[in-house]
Structure 1
Amino acid sequence: MSITAIADPTKPGSLAHRARTRRWAELLRCFPNLADMRVLDLGGTPHAWRLSPVRPAHVVTVNLDPSTAHQTEPDITPLVADACTLLTSGHLAGERFDLAYSNSLMEHVGGHRHRQQFAETVHSCADHHWIQTPYRYFPVEPHWLFPGMQWLPFRARVAVSQHWPYGHISSANRPQATQDVEEVELLSVTEMRSYFPQSHIWFERFAGLPKSLVARK
């Protein structure tokens, strides 16, 4: 089996697909009434919810990708916006949700200040949340599927992004590789707890090792 097949969450039987299934089971254990909830998905897409085992009563997805605006369904409302500036942009002024949800976005928002803004959005928009992000100290970097890449010097990470043929990010040239590397910053447990001090941090594990972190409340 190829590395990409192992890491493809849409491929039944792959390691990534099994991990996603376990994550959904834990989400439903924590929020058994998800089907009745109004959910704010920060960084998600309508397409992802079409594939989900449970559909909430209504979902608002927030994504910078303008193509998501055309993926409308009666119970899914796509919003093209920045998840970190929702509180100041007026996009969701006065709106409340049962659950704020996010999957693998927090490591992409761009530094401490934006992560703080992201966390403020989560706390302000919903009483409950489920915020997942890959764990910095898992031995394989999850975007490039390269062992220990996150601990390499910046120049070496750019070289990996430009030449490593596997993973979910493929950089066509050095400027693109530089940008791709700049846009990923994995988080530690301490950082996650600082943004969500009242939350329980759940460790999603692979082979006994923490693979990703979920702040849930």
Structure 2
Amino acid sequence: MRNLFVDGPNSVAAKARARRWRWVAESFPDLGQMNVIDLGGTATAWMRAPIKPASVHVINLAHDDQELPSWLRTEVGDACDLPKRILGDDYDLVFSNAVIEHVGGYARRQAFADAVHSLAGRFWVQTPYRYFPVEPHVLFPFYQFLPLNVRARINRRWPLVHTKSPDWSAALQDALEIELIGRAEMALLFPTARMRAERVAGLTKSLIAIKA
């Protein structure tokens, strides 16, 4: 059943990703000539993308050792605590998709936003919307509003969780690792952005802060 929502090529998530790429192309028609930094993304996502920028620099906490094309490079790093050599580099666009809700607390989300503003004049920052009724990581209704111990139990038992937590401690950590945010906080973090809502059945599913 999870394939219907997130895993298959015809899944709801796959169709949403395709629509989002169309919006990226509309917002940044010169993307093919841009020098892009991706905070928290993956090289695989860019290799599958319908548009290839002139160069992409991916920053992620996880190491990526796959062979990459010449226009794409990856580096292990914390987007909330980037070294000066990266902050001083010359980028045209900051891109981030479904990352800011994972960085851990408001102070780190503010540090993430500060990095976005420092790296380039243009940005695209997407995050799932806190008040959408189905939490997108575990596909459980109103998961984000439940007590921590209940969320941990869901992480261990719910059949639609992508990877069930192996033990109680991991289940608690997995629950704490997700903090969905709403429109007011996104507007506070990205005050110069145009906020675009991605909708499903008329309800806002995710927010995208765009400065083009």
Matched, 1:181 2:179: no
2:103 is matched with which residue: 109, 119, 122? 109
1:138 is matched with which residue: 117, 121, 132? 132
Distance 1:201 1:85, change over 3 A: same
Q: 2:140 corresponds to which letter in structure 1?
A: F
- Give the TM-score of the pair, scaled to structure 1: 0.94
Q: 1:77 corresponds to which letter in structure 2?
A: R
Paired positions, count: 211
Question: Which moves more between the two structures, 166-175 or 192-201?
Answer: 166-175
The equivalent of 1:12 in structure 2 is 9
Shift, 1:168, TM fit: 2.8
State how far apart, in whole Å, the 2-side matches of 1:76 and 1:163 are: 38
Deviations 1:131-171 (A, max 9, x none): 00000000000100001111111111111111112133421
Q: 2:5 corresponds to which letter in structure 1?
A: A
State how far apart, in whole Å, the 2-side matches of 1:71 and 1:63 are: 16
1:211 is matched with which residue: 192, 197, 205? 205
Q: In structure 2, the residue corresponding to 1:95 is in which secondary structure?
A: coil
Q: 2:38 corresponds to which letter in structure 1?
A: D
Let me know the Cα RMSD of the aligned residues.
Answer: 1.2
CA contact (8 A) 1:143 1:169 kept: no
Distance 1:69 1:83, change over 3 A: farther
Shift, 1:33, TM fit: 1.0
The equivalent of 1:25 in structure 2 is 22
Matched, 1:84 2:67: no
CA contact (8 A) 1:69 1:80 kept: no
State how far apart, in whole Å, the 1-side matches of 2:84 and 2:65 are: 18
Shift, 1:185, TM fit: 0.2
Q: In structure 1, the residue corresponding to 2:122 is in which secondary structure?
A: strand
Matched, 1:38 2:32: no
- Give the TM-score of the pair, scaled to structure 2: 0.96
The equivalent of 1:60 in structure 2 is 57
State how far apart, in whole Å, the 2-side matches of 1:57 and 1:158 are: 43
State how far apart, in whole Å, the 2-side matches of 1:19 and 1:49 are: 16
Q: In structure 1, the residue corresponding to 2:6 is in which secondary structure?
A: coil
CA contact (8 A) 1:40 1:97 kept: yes
State how far apart, in whole Å, the 2-side matches of 1:192 and 1:167 are: 26
Runs of 4+ in 1 over 6 A off after TM superposition: none
State how far apart, in whole Å, the 2-side matches of 1:7 and 1:57 are: 32
Q: In structure 2, the residue corresponding to 1:8 is in which secondary structure?
A: helix
Shift, 1:14, TM fit: 1.3
The equivalent of 1:197 in structure 2 is 191
Deviations 1:1-39 (A, max 9, x none): x1x112225x22211111111111111111111111110
State how far apart, in whole Å, the 1-side matches of 2:19 and 2:66 are: 30
